[in-house]
């Protein structure tokens, strides 16, 4: 029987499963890769940089407006401080809400990755089990076919042998009953056993023994 192929798993599948499994586990445990970590953080470096730029632009804009309006001194500084405070408070609150949404998104992403890895693993295992089962059935059936053919050959030889013995027995019986002389070996054997009538043909011997 020819060698049957083995189940083949693509190395790309194994590598991707390993990578995604580790990523999903890390996200669910809070170990976010550095590149994605700002998604769920508050006050990240990127946020602070953007906030400082907004504060600088706001301060410059309010100062210029105050100058055009002729407001100087403490009044102008108060306007600048209020504008900066408002924009900073709103920006940090929005950043906080964004971080909560980011954490929720990361959680859903981690769960999705983990479920995807598990589902793909179960599918792969099911395919491999089905392949192995079909392979076993094929090998078992092939072995049974060989045994059945051998049994058929043995039965055929036995039938031929039985038929040959039966034919030979019929010929010998017909020779005894029909009075045909046997071969020299058979005649000598019968003479050695006794021949009351001293006849040299099978029928005579048989009659004597029957009497």
Domain presence at residue 18? yes
Domain termination residue (choose one: 155, 172, 198): 155
If asked whether residues 66 and 123 sit together in one domain, one would say yes
If asked whether residues 148 and 162 sit together in one domain, one would say no
Placement of tokens 């809400």 in the chain: 97
Domain presence at residue 1? no
User: For 117-173, how does the pLDDT look when each residue is reduced to its tens digit (9 = 90+)?
Assistant: 999 999 999 999 999 999 888 888 888 888 888 888 877 788 777 776 766 666 556
If asked whether residues 24 and 127 sit together in one domain, one would say yes
CA distance 26 to 18: 12
Domain presence at residue 51? yes
Average pLDDT over residues 20-32: 93
Range of the domain at 186: 156-210
Q: How many helices (H) and strands (E) does the chain have?
A: 5, 0
Contacts of 1 (CB under 8 A, 6+ apart): 139, 142
The number of domains in the chain is 2
Domain presence at residue 86? yes
If asked whether residues 113 and 132 sit together in one domain, one would say yes
If asked whether residues 130 and 191 sit together in one domain, one would say no
CA distance 172 to 202: 11
Average pLDDT over residues 43-59: 88
The pTM of this model reads 0.57
Of 84-93, 96-105, 155-164, the range with the lowest mean pLDDT is: 155-164
Contacts of 208 (CB under 8 A, 6+ apart): 195, 196, 197, 199
């Amino acid at each position: 029987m020819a060698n049957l192929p083995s189940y083949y798993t693509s190395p790309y599948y194994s590598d991707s499963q390993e990578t995604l499994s580790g990523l999903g586990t890390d996200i669910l445990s809070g170990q976010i890769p550095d590149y994605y970590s700002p998604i769920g953080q508050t006050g990240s470096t990127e946020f602070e940089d953007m906030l400082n730029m907004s504060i600088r632009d706001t301060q410059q804009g309010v100062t210029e407006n105050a100058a055009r309006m002729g407001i100087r001194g403490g009044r102008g500084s108060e306007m600048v401080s209020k504008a900066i405070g408002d924009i900073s408070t709103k920006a940090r609150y929005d950043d906080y809400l964004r971080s909560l949404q980011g954490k929720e998104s990361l959680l859903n992403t981690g769960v999705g990755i983990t479920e995807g890895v598990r589902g793909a693993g179960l599918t792969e295992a099911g395919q491999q089990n089905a392949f192995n089962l079909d392979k076993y059935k094929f090998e078992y059936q092939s072995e049974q076919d060989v045994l059945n053919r051998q049994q058929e050959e043995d039965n055929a030889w036995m039938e031929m042998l039985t038929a040959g013995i039966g034919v030979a027995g019929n010929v010998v019986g017909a020779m005894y009953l029909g009075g045909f002389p046997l071969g020299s070996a058979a005649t000598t054997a019968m003479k050695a056993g006794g021949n009351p009538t001293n006849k040299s043909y099978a029928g005579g011997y048989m009659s004597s023994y029957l009497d």
